[in-house]
Homo-oligomer: A and B are copies of this chain.
Amino acid sequence: MADNKNLINRRGFFRKAAAVSVTALSGKSLLANELAEKGDPAIMHHTKWGQKWGDPVSVNLYGMPSAYEHNVTRRNTKLLASGNFRASIAVTPIHESQGIITPNGLFFSRSHGGTAHVDPNEYRLMIHGLVEKPIVLTLAELKRYPSVTRTHFIECPANGGQEWRGPQFNSVQFAKGFMSSAEWTGVYIKTILEDLGLKPTAQWMLAEGSDNSKMGRTIPVDKVLDDAMIVWGQNGEALRPEQGYPARLLVPGWEGNLCVKWLRRLEFSQEPWYCKEETSKYTDLKPTGKAIQHFYANEVNSTVTSPSPEIPWTDLKDGDVVEIEGLAWSGMGTITAVDLSFDGGKNYVKANLKGLVLSKSWTRWSYMHAYKKGEKLLLTSRAIDDAGYIQPTIDQEIGVMGVEAVYHRNAVETWEVTEEGKVNHVQIRSI
């Protein structure tokens, strides 16, 4: 385990890093360093891309990533979801993520009937039931309400849900990539309801999609009036088709499937609905044989993202200083701390929270570590939120839930670093 006290001294740390940078260079780079010492930039002048004109700006008016990044994509597998690629999921390469924005091209995508392609001119949203003035809005009318912009994650409650009995995927993308984070623009539903008038008897809201699956979910009115939004913008542009273009529900911090895409209808009522996707799915079977329903929040959670099976430490040398990075998030508030263990959860040190720390948003954390060649580690992260919750151990969670549940698994995750620097997803049980 790292002696982080020494590393906190920046001068001390950077002296170590300097030694690394030089010794890690290839033969060619060592030559380059000799030239650098002479102050001779000639070594920098022979790249093939610098010898010719680049592309005109006109060839790329809406851009794509470098071809060298072809490996950084969403991924899917028949093992996930329903076994076909329409009622399925494509998960985000969170090991390659940076900051707290997931670009729209990589935002995880879950649909129950495939991606619908909605004509915005034909789009209508009906809001009715227990409201004084039921209405059907065009997209232009919807967008005329005062807009707000908020940064929130969306997480499928099945994130990590394959892992109750132990790791199924030796991949952080497949194990924990059922989530992404974005800057959303839209209107608070409470704003629209101040216009339409919500009847006092209203206790629940049905949200229904216009796609082939007619996805329907029920949400308590208290949450709707707190912070639920109808959003049309994501990361500064229109929603992508696979995110529900032209408008979807956003229920910050709660199950991603509540964020109904291609949204066509909101209906307010006294009683909850029992739609297909909140009875046959998105309920959790307990050992008693009864299932938990009406439990919506994605509780406090975290994972290491680097190192990971996708980003091993096999190229590190003894003494290399490396940044252990990860994500923490809570659907119930703001992350206040992340602990990191090198021994699978027996002992913890405090990690550093990086960048913006926002409510119901990804929070990035890191820890500088001096790698010892051949060391074996069990990296476990544990997040704490301002609602007072801390991630449970898998023993604690299985003690309550058994192993028949699918959703809302937020026990700590452990990543084994082998003597060779390979990384494996493991589960630490003490029972």
Q: B-contacting residues of A (Cβ < 8 Å)?
A: 10-11, 14-15, 17-18, 20-22, 24-26, 29, 32-33, 35-37, 39, 41, 43-44, 47-69, 72-76, 84-86, 88-90, 96-107, 109-111, 113-120, 122, 124, 126-129, 133-138, 140-141, 144-151, 183-185, 191, 194-196, 208, 210-212, 214, 233, 235-242, 245-246, 262, 264-265, 267, 315, 320-323, 354-356, 364, 366, 368
With A21-B195, A57-B76, A237-B72 as contacts: A136 and B52 at CB distance below 8 Å? no
In the complex, the answer to whether A102 meets B236 with C-beta atoms within 8 Å is yes
Can you name the residue of chain B whose Cβ is closest to the Cβ of A120? Answer: B68
In the complex, the answer to whether B64 meets A105 with C-beta atoms within 8 Å is yes
With A63-B242, A106-B237 as contacts: A54 and B137 at CB distance below 8 Å? no
CB of A183, distance to nearest CB on chain B (Å): 5
In the complex, the answer to whether B90 meets A57 with C-beta atoms within 8 Å is yes
A135: chain B residues within 8 A (beta carbon): 21-22, 33, 36
In the complex, the answer to whether B55 meets A124 with C-beta atoms within 8 Å is no
A233: chain B residues within 8 A (beta carbon): 98-99
Most chain B CB within a 10 A radius of its CB, from A36, A61, A137: A36
Report the bound CA distance from A387 to B183 in whole Å: 28
In the complex, the answer to whether B101 meets A49 with C-beta atoms within 8 Å is no
Can you name the residue of chain B whose Cβ is closest to the Cβ of A121? Answer: B68
In the complex, the answer to whether B109 meets A191 with C-beta atoms within 8 Å is no
A-B contacts, 20 listed (Cβ < 8 Å): A22-B133, A25-B141, A29-B124, A29-B136, A33-B136, A36-B135, A44-B264, A49-B116, A52-B212, A56-B85, A57-B109, A61-B76, A61-B90, A62-B73, A63-B107, A66-B241, A66-B246, A68-B119, A103-B236, A147-B323
Pairs of residues from A and B, 8 with the lowest C-beta to C-beta distance, nearest first? A54-B114, A56-B85, A32-B136, A98-B233, A36-B134, A99-B149, A98-B185, A149-B355
A73: chain B residues within 8 A (beta carbon): 61-62
In the complex, the answer to whether B366 meets A72 with C-beta atoms within 8 Å is no
CB of A210, distance to nearest CB on chain B (Å): 5
In the complex, the answer to whether B43 meets A136 with C-beta atoms within 8 Å is yes
In the complex, the answer to whether B66 meets A238 with C-beta atoms within 8 Å is yes
CB of A318, distance to nearest CB on chain B (Å): 15
In the complex, the answer to whether A105 meets B47 with C-beta atoms within 8 Å is no
In the complex, the answer to whether A101 meets B98 with C-beta atoms within 8 Å is no
In the complex, the answer to whether A148 meets B183 with C-beta atoms within 8 Å is no
